[in-house]
Amino acid sequence: MNIAGVILAAGLGKRMSSSAPKVLHKIYGTPMLHYVLHRIHELNPQKVIVVVGKHCKEIKDTLEHVDSISFVYQREAKGTGDALLKAEQALKGFQGTVLVVNGDTPLIRRETLKKFLNLHKQKKNAISVLSFIAPNPGSYGRIIRDDSDRAVSIIEDRDATIIQKGIKEVNSGIYAIESEVLPLLKGIKLNESKGEYYLTDVISIAYDKGVRVDAFCIGSEDELMGVNTQGEIEKVRRIMREMIAQEWLKKGVNFVDINSVFISLNVTIGRDTQIYPNVYLEGSTKIGKGCTIYPNVRVLDSTIGDGAVIKDFTLIEGSVVKERASIGPFARIRPGSQIGEEARIGNFVEVKKSVIGSGTKAGHLSYLGDAKIGNNVNIGAGTITCNYDGHKKYITVIEDDVFVGSDSQLIAPVKVGRGAFIGAGSTITKDVSSMALATSRVKQRNIEDWVRKKQLKVKSEKLRVRKKAKR
Ligand code: UD1
Ligand code: CA
């Protein structure tokens, strides 16, 4: 099937009471529009067109990394009919089915879109509408059917009679339109009461001309609801959270409390991974098999290897944690880091843009930034790589099997050779050769009986003062 996707995203979203464009409101870190785009892309369309308006720049900026999208500009939000008409130019030369989707329908599933397109094809319709049953149809457009049960028009809630308002079958804002009937859009007249051109009017225009139209009532409100208010975004969040969590539950992920875990749409999780409450897995995160993620952890755009353990109150961003590593509690892994197999990053350790080798341990209170640390290194408590001189950042290299004593500072750029030993409390400013000992503390001095002598001195002084007072 030859498909072109058109997403309508030029509306003002007034009902959101927000200065941000409606379609960029985020659901678990991802703008609503991106969910819709993702679904369209899954259908392998020949082209994808997004109709943008006043917020055109902001919307384009969020999609910079996605190729194969053309943007069409609707200067004034004059309605959904006008929006699609603007896209018509960009569809010149395209022959096939134009799938039109409102940009505010983020819960739509691939299976439903496929089923809809198949029905459209099978029934040889020129225009099809995807409808659903809404127990409280509210502001949705109502589907009007003729005696033979064919959809003949869509009446917007504000224009509906009392009887029509009672109809529960409503328009989802998703349409399949054959390219050759696109010229019918030109017949849409201004709706005087709203001052807009309604795309929905194309149904009655087509029907009156004897063009084959119909509505397919598939899918549910939970999937097809449109978002117009902040309250509806909240509802979408809840539905999406439940839907995604249920999916991973089926795939063998174990949740201690499924109601408090937040997983973004593109996240993947391996089987037998156990997830504790209040965990956020966001962006393009991939969690391996048999991992344990303890409470209050957030992982963003990161890959966690099989069998890794992420302990309480840990934040991991843009990094790779390899198999069976252990991170936290209270650890922070900043973007560009790689934590090796079976490595251990303990409490109050911050790692930034650093490679930590396998089996290496940094158990407590450290800052490791711009460092390349080899395998089986011991990083003592309180170790700091001093990577910044106020102007530039420098690299610290620590080779395999090095022992860094507690409370050491490594002033970058500096290199510590394989197997070297840094004495606790050292400030390392020069490279250390392999197998050497480096210490930089002041030599210890012990003065025998110093305390006793001091006490005697204090005692005799007190005696002298008292005698003087008696006199
Ligand atoms: C629309 C439908 C309604 C349907 C509902 C489904 C019309 C007239 N009504 O109503 O039948 O039940 O969706 O959720 O189509 N947009 C533009 N340019 C504009 C106006 C809107 O691109 O000038 C975009 C919006 O950004 C939005 C989509 O079109 O993504 C729908 O617009 P919206 O104002 O939300 O329509 P509804 O009132 O929800
Ligand atoms: Ca809407």
- Closest ligand to C-alpha of residue 22 is 1
Probe residue for ligand 1, chosen from 14, 22, 80, 174 as the CB with the greatest number of ligand atoms within 8 Å? 80
Count of beta carbons in the 10 Å neighbourhood of residue 301: 18
Q: How many CB atoms lie within 10 A of CB 69?
A: 16
DSSP string, 162-185: HHHHT--EEEEEEEEEEGGGGGGG
Angle between helices 32-41 and 110-122 (to 10 degrees): 50
Atom of ligand 1 nearest to the CA of 228: 35
The bound ligand whose nearest atom lies closest to the alpha carbon of 227 is 2
Q: Ligand 1 centroid to 173 CA: how many Å?
A: 7
For the chain, give me the number of helices (H) and strands (E)?
A: 9, 41
Burial environment of residue 286 by CB neighbours within 10 A (0 to 12, 13 to 18, 19 or more): middle
Atom of ligand 1 nearest to the CA of 103: 30
Measured from the Cα of 201, ligand 1's closest atom is 8
What is the C-alpha separation between 215 and 129, in angstroms, rounded? 4
Long-range contacts formed by 192-197: CB under 8 A, 24+ apart: 193/158, 193/159, 194/79, 194/156, 194/158, 195/78, 196/77, 196/78, 196/79, 196/80, 196/81, 196/82, 197/78, 197/79, 197/80, 197/81, 197/82, 197/85
Which amino acid does the sequence have at 153?
Answer: S
Least distant ligand from the CA of 23:
1
Centre of ligand 2 to C-alpha 140, Å, is: 8
d(Cα 30, Cα 26) in Å, to the nearest integer? 5
Question: What is the reported pLDDT for 29?
Answer: 78
| Ligand 2 center from residue 81 Cα (angstroms) | 14
Q: What is the pTM of this model?
A: 0.79
Please list the pLDDT of the chain residue by residue as tens digits (471 residues): 899 999 999 998 899 999 999 999 998 878 999 999 999 999 999 999 999 999 999 999 999 887 789 999 999 999 999 999 999 989 999 999 999 999 999 999 999 999 999 999 999 999 999 999 999 999 999 999 999 999 999 999 999 999 999 999 999 999 999 999 999 999 999 999 899 999 999 999 999 999 999 999 998 999 999 999 999 999 999 999 998 999 999 999 999 999 999 998 889 999 999 999 999 999 899 999 999 999 999 999 999 999 999 999 999 999 999 999 999 999 999 999 999 999 999 999 999 999 999 999 999 999 999 999 999 999 999 999 999 999 999 999 999 999 999 999 999 999 999 999 999 999 999 999 999 999 999 999 999 999 999 999 999 999 999 999 998
Residue in this structure with the two tokens 């819960």, named with its chain if needed:
107
| Closest C-alpha among 436, 412, 437, 409 to residue 425 | 409
With the most atoms of ligand 1 within 8 angstroms of its CB, the residue from 18, 85, 102, 154 to mutate is 102
**Residue closest by Cα to atom 10 of ligand 1:** 140
Please, are residues 413 and 431 in contact by the beta-carbon 8 Å criterion?
A: no
CA-nearest residue, atom 36 of ligand 1:
80
Closest atom of ligand 1 to CA, residue 76: 23
Q: Which helix (H) or strand (E) holds 234?
A: helix 230-250
Pocket (CB within 6 angstroms of ligand 1): 8-11, 23, 51, 74, 77-80, 82-83, 102-104, 139-141, 154, 156, 170-173, 198-200, 226, 228
Beta strands in 186-302 (DSSP E): 190-191, 196-197, 213-217, 254-255, 261-263, 268-269, 274-275, 279-282, 286-287, 292-293, 298-300
User: Which residues sit with Cβ closer than 5 angstroms to ligand 2, an ion?
Assistant: 104, 226, 228
Distance CA 410, CA 404 (A): 10
Of 402, 334, 348, 345, the closest CA to residue 373 belongs to 402
pLDDT (0 to 100) of residue 68: 85
Cα 187 to ligand 1 centroid, rounded to whole Å: 18
Whether the CB-CB separation of 361 and 341 falls below 8 Å is answered with no
Residue 161 burial class via C-beta count within 10 angstroms: exposed 0-12, middle 13-18, buried 19 and up: exposed
Active site (catalytic) residues: 364
Q: 198 CA distance to ligand 1 centroid (A)?
A: 8
- Report the 10 Å Cβ neighbour count for 466: 8
Atom of ligand 1 nearest to the CA of 12: 26
What is the pLDDT at residue 364?
Answer: 98
**Spatial distance between the Cα atoms of 274 and 268, rounded to a whole number of angstroms:** 13
3-state secondary structure of 347: strand
Q: Read off the amino acid at residue 29.
A: G
Element (H, E) at 27: strand 26-27
> Which residue's C-alpha comes closest to atom 33 of ligand 1?
11
**148 Cα to the center of ligand 1, angstroms:** 28
